Amino acid sequence: MDVQSDQATLSAQDTRRRVFAIVGASSGNLVEWFDFYIYSFCALYFAPAFFPSGNTTTQLLNTAGVFAAGFLMRPIGGWLFGRIADRHGRRAAMMISVLMMCGGSLVIAALPTYAQIGALAPLLLLVARLFQGLSVGGEYGTSATYMSEVALKGRRGFFASFQYVTLIGGQLCALLVLVILQQTLSTEELKAWGWRIPFVVGACAALVSLYLRKSLDETSTSESRRKRDAGTIRGVWQHKVAFFTVVGFTAGGSLIFYTFTTYMQKYLVNTAGMHAKTASNVMTCALFVYMLMQPVFGALSDKIGRRTSMILFGSLSVLATVPIMHALKDVSSPVAAFVLIIVALAIVSFYTSISGLIKAEMFPPEVRAMGVGLSYAVANALFGGSAEYVALWFKSVGSETTFYWYVTALCAVALVVSCRMRDPGKEGYLRHEP
């Protein structure tokens, strides 16, 4: 009886330790994505300060271009931080990445405008975004790896889904801060200086995250870190089938994710003609529900398998994207817009709830962080980060509906890849680990 009691106590302690680790890793993830997304949500207000000429669509196109440029640094970040995480530990990589994001946010918060320093203003904005892109490129792979390794066996889908809970939570917090500012400041004040406040908030929150991450347990072993190919491109290339599988389904997954989250606020304002404050309220509610969906769909993947979840994502997104985007184009009711967006986000949840986990299950520990981070970053840089830019470009040339089919085509690629892959939840490397 005493032995059973001791085992139960140890099991409870282990569970609490793992839950704390999930919370600690998630806090940094939330701060990173808050800082990264606040740029997109505040673009409506600071675009004229850095790109003063042209109409609204042109200004948004310019800011979306800088947003996309940040994504181009992600493959470098995925490689750099993947190497650090695989050779020196996950915790060290996560601490460095959150510090870098903090620095980028502080720079943007203090940037002079175009009226003050001319063309140097948008150039410095670009540099700050490239710095943040490098940071967040390393954050995804490292946090996905850490959370998958620390999650409880048999419930990895549920626990690992909290990566996107905090990723979406970062978006939601960014949007909530913007909504609060919209309610307390005038549009003129927001355009003049109010847009700087969220960047300061994000930079300060990074200090809290740094403290929490400092106390995390390391999940990689000294044995895996000492392996010859640990944290190398050569080591990752030995698993090139897994690499290109991740690239294939991330292309569609990232594109549709950014379409119905960061770009959707602009779409409701710039295409559907909705007031900016109303669009922000709709997206705040939608993102909150979407965040709550992640553990539900993550737990579902533990029951039905990762591959089944991915096939459901691919098939439903191919069927529903064009009809939903067309309906949103002509929507007049905020409630109707909310319902349509929730339907779309429910479909996306089949992918996002297990996004980090399904990638981590495909790579061995010595190259896991780099394999996850680099493959994700390549696809995300090419297709996810460019979502707003491509959508606005199609609109600027009078062919906005072509973007809907572009999203559908990439989701079809994700469907084909998902149908061809084995279920990593049953056959992946993590199945051997505690």
Q: Which pLDDT score, from 0 to 100, does residue 310 have?
A: 94
Q: What is the DSSP string of 29-92?
A: HHHHHHHHHHHHHHHHHHHHHH--SS-HHHHHHHHHHHHHHHHHTHHHHHHHHHHHHHHH-HHH
For the chain, report the end-to-end CA distance as a whole number of angstroms.
Answer: 25
Structure-model confidence comparison of residues 39 and 341, the more confident one: 341
Report which of 280, 261, 254 is spatially closest to residue 377, judged by C-alpha positions: 254
- Average pLDDT on 82-87 reads 90
Q: Which pLDDT score, from 0 to 100, does residue 6 have?
A: 38
- 5 pLDDT band, cuts 50/70/90, is very low
Is 99 a residue whose pLDDT tops 80?
yes
- Average pLDDT on 157-166 reads 87
Q: How far apart are CA 346 and CA 353, in angstroms?
A: 10
Based on its alpha-carbon atoms, the radius of gyration of the chain, rounded to whole angstroms, reads: 21
CATH code, domain carrying 376: 1.20.1250.20
User: 397 is in which domain, residue-wise?
Assistant: 21-212+229-432
How many domains would you assign to the chain?
Answer: 1
Is residue 231 within 8 Å of residue 369, measured between CB atoms?
Answer: yes
Residue 325 forms part of a structural domain: yes
- Average pLDDT on 283-301 reads 92
Residue 246 forms part of a structural domain: yes
Q: Which pLDDT score, from 0 to 100, does residue 140 have?
A: 81
Is 396 a residue whose pLDDT tops 90?
no
Q: What residue has token string 């809907």?
A: 404
Residue 16 forms part of a structural domain: no
Residue 198 forms part of a structural domain: yes
Please give the DSSP secondary-structure letter assigned to residue 113: -
Please give the DSSP secondary-structure letter assigned to residue 218: P
- Average pLDDT on 106-135 reads 84
Burial of 332 (0-12, 13-18, 19+ CB in 10 A): exposed
Burial 109-126 (b: 16+ CB within 10 A, else e): bebebbeeeeeebbebbe
Q: How far apart are CA 104 and CA 109, in angstroms?
A: 9
Is residue 59 within 8 Å of residue 355, measured between CB atoms?
Answer: no
Is 328 a residue whose pLDDT tops 90?
yes
Q: Which pLDDT score, from 0 to 100, does residue 2 have?
A: 47
Q: Which of 53-62, 260-269, 313-322, 342-351 has the lowest mean pLDDT?
A: 53-62
Q: Which pLDDT score, from 0 to 100, does residue 280 have?
A: 82
Burial of 394 (0-12, 13-18, 19+ CB in 10 A): middle
Structure-model confidence comparison of residues 133 and 241, the more confident one: 241
Q: Which of 9-23, 122-136, 247-261 has the lowest mean pLDDT?
A: 9-23
Helical H runs in 161-239? Answer: 162-184, 187-192, 197-214, 222-226, 233-237
Is residue 308 within 8 Å of residue 297, measured between CB atoms?
Answer: no
Alpha carbon 403 to its chain centroid, in Å, reads 21
Is residue 328 within 8 Å of residue 337, measured between CB atoms?
Answer: yes
Q: What residue has token string 């981590």?
A: 360
Indicate the residue type of 133: G
Is residue 111 within 8 Å of residue 124, measured between CB atoms?
Answer: yes
Q: Which pLDDT score, from 0 to 100, does residue 253 have?
A: 94
- 7 pLDDT band, cuts 50/70/90, is very low
Residue 223 forms part of a structural domain: no
Is residue 303 within 8 Å of residue 389, measured between CB atoms?
Answer: no
Residue 13 forms part of a structural domain: no
Q: Which pLDDT score, from 0 to 100, does residue 53 have?
A: 67
Is 9 a residue whose pLDDT tops 50?
no
Residue 25 forms part of a structural domain: yes
Residue 2 forms part of a structural domain: no
Residue length of the chain: 434
Q: How far apart are CA 182 and CA 193, in angstroms?
A: 12
Beta-carbon contacts of residue 392 (< 8 Å; ≥ 6 apart): 57, 60, 61, 64, 266, 270
Is 194 a residue whose pLDDT tops 50?
yes
